[in-house]
Each structure stands twice: as C-alpha cells, then as structure tokens.
C-alpha cells in the first residue's frame, strides 16, 4: 500500500456536514481529495479552499450520484487531476421522513434513487477503477437498528446499502480493496436538526449512554481509520453511535 501522500480519495456529498468534515480529515492525513457535490457548489468550494489553505490538495466536482455518466466523469476528474483513485467515501444521500402509511410514493422513489441506485452506481465504478490497497466506505445509519418511526423509507434504503457493501466486499476477493459501511447514530448535523424541537433534540441526546449527540468528527474519525490503517476490517457495518443500540 502506498503512503497517504500518494493516495487519492473521492468524497461524495462533500458539501454536507459529514462529507465536508471527512474530506478535511482525509486531506489532513495526506490524501488528495475530490470533493463532490450534488448541487451545493459554494459549500464544496469552501471545503476545497480550506484544504488548500492548509497545504492539502483538493478539487471540486459535481453531479447526480444516480447518473452513471456524471459519476464516471467524477472518477475521470480524480484520475486526471491526481493520477487515480484509492478511496471512495460515499456520504451523499437524502432523508425525507414520514410514517409508512403517509409517505408520498414519489418521495419514496426519490429516496431509493439517490440512496440505493446512487450507492450502486458509485460502488460499481469504484469496483472497476480503484487501485489495489483501496477502500470503499459507504454511509448507512444506526436507524436500521433503532427502528425509529417515520424513518421507514430511509432505513429501507440504508438496509440496501449495507447489503450491497457486504456483498461487494466478497466480490472483490483478490483485489486488495476493502468495503465497509459506517452507520452513524443521531448526529448533530443540519439534516438531523431539521423539523425537530429543542426538547426532542435534548431528549435524544440524553438517551444516549454517552449523554450527547454524535458529531461529524466522530464519524470522520472512523472513515479515516477505514481509509487508512484498517486493512483487516472488511465486509463490516461499523455502528458509530455512542452505544445507542
């Protein structure tokens, strides 16, 4: 395996909370980073600027994660700018919430397109194009264990992400590429806070054995571990939730 100074990571959803923090963490570890966005170009540019200001290497690239042509172009950017791809960190996803009985089916279809097809598209490209010694890191959720009401469509999509991750790990036998899923619990991000009262947020934090919400940094720490030294962790779902479940 090459040292991190020669390694290249693509972070999808790099304009989001977990994606942006993870991109910065990987850059600090020596990776060149392609910071992907699905529409948040301004925030992605800020992430890249911060990485470059710290002496790191990074570029921005956009595109729909469920569009195979756009994502092939994303991998092309990494190869053109930095010479190849070693790590895919797939954080891009959406999370509309509603009880199963009330969920709009168009919204359900959108969740599956972005979260399931999007994961399949980028993982397929990574399986074809990552260099030996690489890592594919998908984002799942601890909701698959917590089974919280209103999360049915989202949990269904992330259950599919976990299944794909574990199967792909075994399909890549002999390639020296690890595949794992990271499953955060309640995490203090804008996506989490949306639509929640302060009282509910405090109750969720108090219910955790650690007495707080997770942070994007907590998840980025595990992503950096899987992207770097964790070569014997493969085909696993790592729950990063402070012991919530």
Query: Which tens digits make up the pLDDT trace of 141-166?
Result: 999 999 999 999 999 999 999 999 99
Does the annotation count 151 as an active-site position? no
pLDDT per residue as tens digits for the range 43-89: 999 999 999 999 999 999 999 999 999 999 999 999 999 999 999 99
Query: Taking the domain 4-240, which CATH number applies?
Result: 3.40.50.720
CB atoms near residue 39 (< 10 Å): 11
Backbone angles phi, psi at 241, to 5 degrees: -145, 15
Q: What is the pLDDT of residue 162?
A: 98
pLDDT interval class at 20 (50, 70, 90):
very high
- Mean pLDDT for all residues in the chain: 96
Confidence of residue 3 (pLDDT cuts 50, 70, 90): low
Of the residues 75, 82, 151, 154, only one is catalytic, namely 154
Counting beta carbons within 10 angstroms of the beta carbon of residue 198, is it exposed (0 to 12), middle (13 to 18) or buried (19 or more)? exposed
Distance CA(67)–CA(9), nearest Å, equals 20
Condensed to tens digits (0 to 9), the pLDDT of residues 88-106 reads: 999 999 999 999 999 999 9
Every domain of the chain and the residues it spans: 4-240
pLDDT at res. 205: 95
pLDDT beyond 80 at 1: no
On the question of pLDDT at 190 being above 90, the answer is no
- Check: CB of residue 20 under 8 Å from CB of residue 42: no
* Mean pLDDT of all residues in 199-215: 95
Q: What is the pTM of this model?
A: 0.95
- Give the residue among 233, 222, 231 at the shortest CA–CA distance from 132: 231
pLDDT of the residue at 2: 44
pLDDT at res. 195: 80
């Amino acid at each position: 395996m090459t040292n991190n100074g020669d390694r290249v990571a693509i972070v999808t959803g790099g304009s989001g909370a977990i994606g942006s923090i993870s991109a910065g963490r990987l850059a600090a570890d020596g990776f060149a980073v392609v910071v992907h966005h699905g529409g948040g170009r301004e925030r992605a540019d800020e992430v890249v600027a911060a990485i470059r200001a710290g002496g790191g290497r990074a570029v921005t690239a956009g595109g729909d994660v469920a569009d195979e042509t756009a994502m092939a172009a994303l991998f092309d950017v990494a190869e053109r700018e930095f010479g190849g791809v070693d790590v895919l960190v797939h954080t891009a996803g959406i999370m509309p919430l509603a009880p199963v009985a009330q969920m709009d089916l168009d919204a359900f279809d959108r969740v599956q397109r972005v979260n399931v097809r999007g994961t399949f598209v980028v993982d397929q490209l990574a399986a074809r194009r990552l260099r030996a010694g690489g890592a594919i890191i998908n984002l799942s959720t601890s909701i698959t264990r917590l089974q919280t009401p209103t999360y049915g469509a989202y949990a269904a999509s992330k259950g599919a992400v976990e299944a794909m991750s574990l199967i792909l790990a075994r399909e890549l036998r002999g390639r020296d590429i690890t595949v794992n899923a990271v499953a955060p619990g309640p995490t203090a991000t804008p996506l989490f806070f949306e639509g929640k009262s302060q009282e509910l947020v405090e109750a969720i934090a108090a219910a955790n054995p650690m007495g707080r919400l997770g942070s994007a940094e907590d998840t980025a720490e595990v992503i950096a571990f899987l992207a770097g030294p964790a070569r014997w962790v493969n085909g696993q779902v790592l729950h990063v939730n402070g012991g919530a479940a």
